[in-house]
Structure 1
Amino acid sequence: MGFEPPQRLVRALGETYGDAAAGDWLARLPELARQAVDLRRLDVERVIAPGGRSSLVALVRLPDGTPGALKVAPPFAAPDLERAALAHWNGFGAVRPLDPDGPDLLLERLHADVSLRSLPEAKALLEAAGTVRRLWVAPPEGHGFESVAERTARQAEAMRAVKDAGTAELVSAALGARDELVADAPEELLLHGNFRQGKVLAGDRAPWLAVGPEPLVGERAYDLARLVRDRVEDLVAAASGATAGRRRVNKLADSLDVDRERLRGWTLFRAVESGTRALSAGRRQDGELLLEFASWL
């Protein structure tokens, strides 16, 4: 079968890594996917669409009939670090690798069409909190994961390069919050890095399991900050959105024993960073939603 990249993947890789690097890898993707399938003698059922933003994912069966998911990602998306994090969690709260070797990822199959976004908001946040709590463990010795300070330093540099009077005040507040937070980080745990409702899928051996980590080490408040703004379009559309957004910060912080102000600060930084990046990529509606949410904090 064909392995043409879904359009969501094409757009996301171009935005994140640049059209040149993304285009070169995308041109080779069909052959890379075929090689991965042939190497493991897999039977391919279908490519998941619209799929993810950093890899092509296909539902497959192993030679013994075991269902799995094959994930083919570009080297600049650091699949080795994802593999290392998943191996360290070893199925506790996250999808389990079926094979530790190879340039691609062969994972246990989850229910790809059923994420926490299928649940009512209150239930989804409850299940999300229970899932992410399991992932916050000490990193392995000699790990190669970057720190929250390192990742956000690169993001901060990109934010400073954006010269837009309309966002300058929010950017300044977000950068100030980030500087204060990294100056006195309280812990160094292994983090998912991109945890949100859509990154938690229904499973068979456990009700919900996390997928698609962009792992790093640092404090829990950073990891929780992306979850705070889930379903941001619903929050912005609601008359009580600002109040509900601030209440969500406090509720999630309290439920996971995270400092409220640290969570508020990281939520501000991550929302402004994503919002300015969306505007730069021409996704104005997404950017404006995120920046309006950030202004409530």
Structure 2
Amino acid sequence: MPSVLPLDPPQRLVRALHGHPDADEAAAAAKWLEKLPGLLETLLERWELTDERLVSPGGRTSLVVLVRRADGTPAALKLTAPGTSAAREAEALACWDGRGAVRLVRAAPEDGALLLERLHGEVSLRSLPEAKAMLEASSALRRLWVPPADGHGFEQVAERTAAEAEMMRTHTPGEARPLVDEALELRDGLLAGTPRQVLLHGDFRQGAVLSASAERSPWLAVGPDPLVGEPAYDLARLVRDRLHDLMASAGAPAATRRRMHRLADALELDRERLRGWALFRAVRSGVRHVWRGDRQDGEALLEFAGWL
């Protein structure tokens, strides 16, 4: 049925999309934002949904509306922005089929639309004390690392990081050149190895694991940016979780290394491979933030990478 919501996209989403340094991508995002109200109404009618409220502040690449299905079952309708792949996300969620991740109800990848089971979106692992959050995160992540299906359409880590490496070479702040060179050299060495290949979440962090029903699983992952590669690549993003809290603590570099070693040991991964991917991914994110004009967060990420 038609939407009863006044659709005013969350400012976090608007700022993120309009702030893209690539003019073509920013224009595509602006066009998508203009079409959102009509797209929402179309999907509500097509899937016989009743909208309840917009999730805010929401994410930076998608809009989520809490809805109810025709039978009254609560669900969440996710509309993904240009530059993200609803098709890949749907494929990954279908592969996991609710094991460690939110369950996919239905999808319209051509519209960037996913209908998902509703979780407690306001409660993520970030609500837990640090030690407990990391324990639960490790447990959730382990369940996601399954062999990809034959004929899958996911990117490989080598493919994704090749594009990222080119971005890093092109947009490196001058003072970060030695760190970028080290990150690129580490990437080359890591890709020369042959560790086990599994389906990865791609953007796994505490904020991407939400409270769910106790009957099935207390915590489930959401928002994957899936690809195929070694587990250490996936764990690397978790190493820098709660970065600003970490930076404000005493002895942050040593605490970071202890955290990294605990995570590697808990998931039975090689410490040096995790260090390499954690450094590469932090440098990549730092360079990207600086390129997009967010110098403060970019410099924090590059400082973090230096601790590794």
User: CA–CA distance in 2 between the matches of 1:47 and 1:183?
Assistant: 45
What one-letter code is carried by the residue in structure 2 that aligns with 1:44?
A: D
Query: Matched residues in 1 for 2:246 and 2:83: separation?
Result: 34
Partner of 2:127: 118
Structure 1 position 48 matched with structure 2 position 52: no
Question: How far, CA to CA, are the matches of 2:125 and 2:200 in structure 1?
Answer: 19
Q: 1:176 — aligned with what?
A: 185
**Counterpart residue number, 1:217:** 228
What is the alpha-carbon distance in structure 2 between the residues aligned to residue 145 and residue 198 of structure 1?
A: 23
* Counterpart AA for 2:294: R
Counterpart residue type for residue 60 of structure 1: V
Question: What residue is the counterpart of 1:147 in the other structure?
Answer: 156
For residues 254-292 of structure 1, the C-alpha deviation after alignment (integer angstroms, 9 at most, x for no partner) is 000111000000000000000111111111111111111
| Corresponding position: 1:134 with 2:169 | no
The separation in 2 between residues aligned to 1:35 and 1:76, in whole angstroms, is 21
Q: In structure 2, do the counterparts of structure 1 residues 14 and 215 end up closer, same or farther at CA, with 3 Å as the change threshold?
A: farther
Q: Structure 1 residue 101: deviation in Å?
A: 5.0
Deviation at 1:164, TM superposition (A): 2.4
Alpha-carbon contact 1:253-1:259 (below 8 Å) kept: yes
Change (3 A) 1:111 1:171: same
Matched, 1:30 2:53: no
Q: CA deviation at 1:37?
A: 1.0
Which letter does structure 2 place at the counterpart of 1:144?
Answer: G
**TM-score (normalised: structure 1):** 0.97
Q: Distance in 2 between matches of 1:163 and 1:9?
A: 26
Q: Unaligned stretches of 5+ in structure 2?
A: none
d(CA) in 2 for partners of 1:212 and 1:3? 22
Tell me how large the CA RMSD over aligned residues is: 1.3
Identical pairs, percent: 59
**How far off its partner does 1:57 sit?**
0.2
What SS does the aligned partner of 1:227 have?
helix
Cα deviation for residue 14 of structure 1 reads 4.0
Q: Which moved more, 1:152-161 or 1:7-16?
A: 7-16
Partner of 2:17: 13
CA contact (8 A) 1:6 1:50 kept: yes
Matched, 1:68 2:75: yes
Render the CA deviation track for 1:231-263: whole Å, top value 9, x for unaligned.
Answer: 011111112110000111110000001110000
* CA shift in 2, pair 1:178/1:165, >3 Å: same
Contact 1:185 1:218 in 2 (8 A): no
2:196 is the counterpart of 1:187:
yes
Report the alpha carbon displacement of residue 10 of structure 1 after superposing the two structures with TM.
Answer: 2.0
Secondary structure of residue in 1 paired with 2:174: coil
The residue identity in structure 2 corresponding to 1:289 is A
> Could you tell me which residue of structure 2 aligns to residue 196 of structure 1?
205
Distance in 2, matches of 1:159 and 1:70, equals: 34
Tell me, which stretches of 5 or more residues in structure 1 are unaligned? none
